Structure 1
Amino acid sequence: MESLRKQFLALENSHLSPVARESNRNMTDILDDEFFEFGFSGGICQRSDFNGDYELQEDDYRISRFEANMLGPESVLTIYTLENRTTGIWSHRSSVWKKRQDGWKLFFHQGTKTDGFKKWE
């Protein structure tokens, strides 16, 4: 189970890294063709949004309280708390990753803004 956790922590960090965020092309390599996101601002984003001039923030992020759980042989749910060290904004995050022919792809992502590092109930 620890190897699953490490693998998906690395995948989550891959789409948060400044290198991935400096180019929409880098992001589309990570995202599933059917990707969609419910952002913490309330907006909805789809993979097609990254095919043009969608601007990503290259902020400094830190993941904490990370968990990865198999939903089936080809899908994984990750949950974690994300601190944006650039803006001071905290959010709870969840992602669903799907195994495809070319590896694991981010299928779904959601962020919910929080007031900081709160204990999970």
Structure 2
Amino acid sequence: MNELKQKILFHEKELLNNEIRTSLEDLDRLIHEDFLEFGKSGGTWRKEDLMGEEGAGHIDVTVEGFDIRVLTSDTVQAIYQSKNNQTNEKANRCSIWKKEKDQWQMIFHQGTVAR
């Protein structure tokens, strides 16, 4: 389980890396075709919304308190808190990762402002 947790954490951090977030090739590799996100801002995004010229955009956040729950043999839920390094704002985060063809892809993500 520790190996799987490290793998999912690695992919979560990839999606927080601005170089990855602006690479359509990397986003295509990491984001599932049926991706849905409910952002902490209240917005909703699909994969096609992230595949434009700026990709998923620039952010400056770190991951805190990361853990996973195995839902099925090919589906994992990641749970953590993010900290915006510019505003110090924290958000509770939840992602669902699905493994298809030996590749983990994020199929769902939600962020909620932490109080």
TM above 0.5, yes or no, is: yes
Distance 1:50 1:102, change over 3 A: farther
Gaps of 5+ in 2: none
State the Cα deviation string for residues 14-60 of structure 1 (Å, max 9, x = none). 11112112333422221001001000011100001123235544232
Task: Please name the residue that 1:10 is paired with.
Answer: 10
Q: What is the alpha-carbon distance in structure 2 between the residues aligned to residue 76 and residue 91 of structure 1?
A: 20
Task: Please name the residue that 1:118 is paired with.
Answer: none
Task: Please name the residue that 1:41 is paired with.
Answer: 41
Q: What is the alpha-carbon distance in structure 2 between the residues aligned to residue 46 and residue 4 of structure 1?
A: 26
Distance 1:55 1:7, change over 3 A: closer
Aligned-residue offset at 1:68:
0.8
Stretches (4+) displaced over 4 A: none
TM-score by length of structure 2 reads: 0.90
RMSD: 1.6
Give the 3-state SS of the residue equivalent to 1:80 in structure 2.
Answer: strand
Q: Tell me if the contact between 1:59 and 1:86 (Cα under 8 Å) persists in the aligned partners.
A: no
Q: Tell me if the contact between 1:25 and 1:51 (Cα under 8 Å) persists in the aligned partners.
A: no
TM-score by length of structure 1 reads: 0.86
Q: What is the alpha-carbon distance in structure 2 between the residues aligned to residue 59 and residue 31 of structure 1?
A: 17
Q: What is the alpha-carbon distance in structure 2 between the residues aligned to residue 29 and residue 69 of structure 1?
A: 22
Task: Please name the residue that 1:69 is paired with.
Answer: 69
Q: What is the alpha-carbon distance in structure 2 between the residues aligned to residue 36 and residue 54 of structure 1?
A: 18
- 1:86 corresponds to 2:83: no
1:104-119 mapped onto 2 (5 Å cutoff): 104-115=104-115
Percent pairwise identity: 31
State the Cα deviation string for residues 57-107 of structure 1 (Å, max 9, x = none). 423221111111110011000000001102322100000000111501000
